[in-house]
Structure 1
């Protein structure tokens, strides 16, 4: 039946894609081994080239799967009329095809085989959706941007504290122990600064129901949430943190230039990654770390 042919074609293409990914990894490993560890310029060029190769392969796989689905939809050989399977003849007439008697055991085997092929088809479909999904594309762009600075994403848990956890991680990576702070302390210091400099923050806070600027009570409730709950942090809180820490903060994002906060401070900046499509709820902050040595990345 044509349905089986279509599913087998998708399965074969998915297997081909997996093989090409494996071949790509082998090629990447060869590239890594060919560049001396101490040649930073060539390693930076190599990292950018690897990111481009991976993006090109993802796009190729997406286009091939889309083309396969388009071809199978337009290629109809068999049809079912009144519950009797027929073959279309060249002159438009239909010839009945007699089906052999199928045992119950065979039906069970056929059903199991069909379910397995359907599962493979769903896997292939999910793989294509992942390749073309906004989350995947955002990750590729961010990886390329960070690689130019010899950096990579360091994952932070998504629990409402992600911005503060990312800042906490950045402080822990610095050689300044006096700056190390817990998430609880960062939240407390942020709320304290906002309360003490209300004029710098109130104009940017409005009641979502009325559109009016926050009242004093509403602002205090906002600051209390910053300090005592898992309220999500954003640019206002980063503005406060840069003053608390006396450090600049750079926020790298995929679809626009980096946001630079506290540029009046000349120290090495805290670097955060802002992702719009990281999780189900969307927005999320991650930290960064030095790009691992490509020659040893496979072992880490």
Structure 2
């Protein structure tokens, strides 16, 4: 019977196959040695037996060592393969290195989350306190003018968002980014009108030109809150008066020299525990219905 082709066999099967061939060749050699010694030559027959035993023992030891070496090599190869796979798995499962930009974004997101949580806590605390009283007073003031508050998110851009909302009703669409940019440009081009009103909170000294420049840069590039100075700049840019309604004081009008229909904002001192807040206004439902009839 013919042995199967060597193609497709693993190393151990090939080795066993070679060992069988070597044993056949050894048996043929032993038979040839036996045929060469006369049967009546006892001395040579005895030597033949010793030689045959030695040849068989040597072959058995050689083949056993080869088989053990193959198994050891195969085992080491498997261990190396597992180690490589584990190494690759570790590398695949390692978290990607976080870039500095991503770290900054994560930090900003964490701060924003913390700020919103503080706002939520402040809302609960103020439900029956100063905020509630202020809201009630403002509701009465606005209702007398057929107005009501339109809530604006407290994200540092509230004043600009409130103006953006008011401008939509005057067919003058400007985004928060555009309002910030134009306000900063106007202030930088009219330094003498704004610099005297800005002081360093740590020293009490007037802003230096460098500090004023940074202040204007922050208007454009950050969520810095807007106030009276920015309102003044925007009233000039828009050539429109801006009226700010408050709970405990008469309304303030910035840009009275202009004769357009004013933009109306609501200023709240106790809206949140984090400081001042601006909202927009809208017509009460019944007034809006009347205007449409």
TM-score after normalising by structure 1: 0.53
Q: What is the alpha-carbon distance in structure 1 between the residues aligned to residue 192 and residue 145 of structure 2?
A: 36
Which of 132, 141, 159 lines up with 1:145 in the alignment?
A: 141
* Deviation of the 1:293 alpha carbon: 2.1
Q: CA RMSD in A?
A: 2.1
Deviations 1:15-59 (A, max 9, x none): xxxxxxxxxxxxxxxxxxxxxxxxxxxxxxxxxxxxxxxxxxxxx
Answer yes or no: is 1:246 the counterpart of 2:246: no
Q: Is the 8 A contact 2:163 2:265 kept in 1?
A: yes
Which of 161, 168, 173 lines up with 1:165 in the alignment?
A: 161
Aligned equivalent of 2:131 = 135
Corresponding residue SS for 2:285: coil
Q: Which has the larger radius of gyration?
A: 2
Aligned equivalent of 2:217 = 224
Which structure has more strand as a fraction of its residues? 1
- Give structure 1 stretches of 5+ with no counterpart: 1-125
The runs of at least 4 aligned residues of structure 1 exceeding 4 Å deviation read 126-129
Which structure has more helix as a fraction of its residues? 2
TM-score after normalising by structure 2: 0.55
Q: What is the alpha-carbon distance in structure 2 between the residues aligned to residue 189 and residue 127 of structure 1?
A: 37
* Deviation of the 1:196 alpha carbon: 0.3
Q: What is the alpha-carbon distance in structure 2 between the residues aligned to residue 220 and residue 127 of structure 1?
A: 39
- Give structure 2 stretches of 5+ with no counterpart: 1-122
Q: What is the alpha-carbon distance in structure 2 between the residues aligned to residue 243 and residue 146 of structure 1?
A: 26
Which of 266, 275, 283 lines up with 2:259 in the alignment?
A: 266
Which of 194, 203, 215 lines up with 2:196 in the alignment?
A: 203
Q: CA, structure 1 residues 212+147, in 2 after alignment: closer, same or farther (shift >3 Å)?
A: same
- Count residues in correspondence: 167
* Deviation of the 1:282 alpha carbon: 3.0
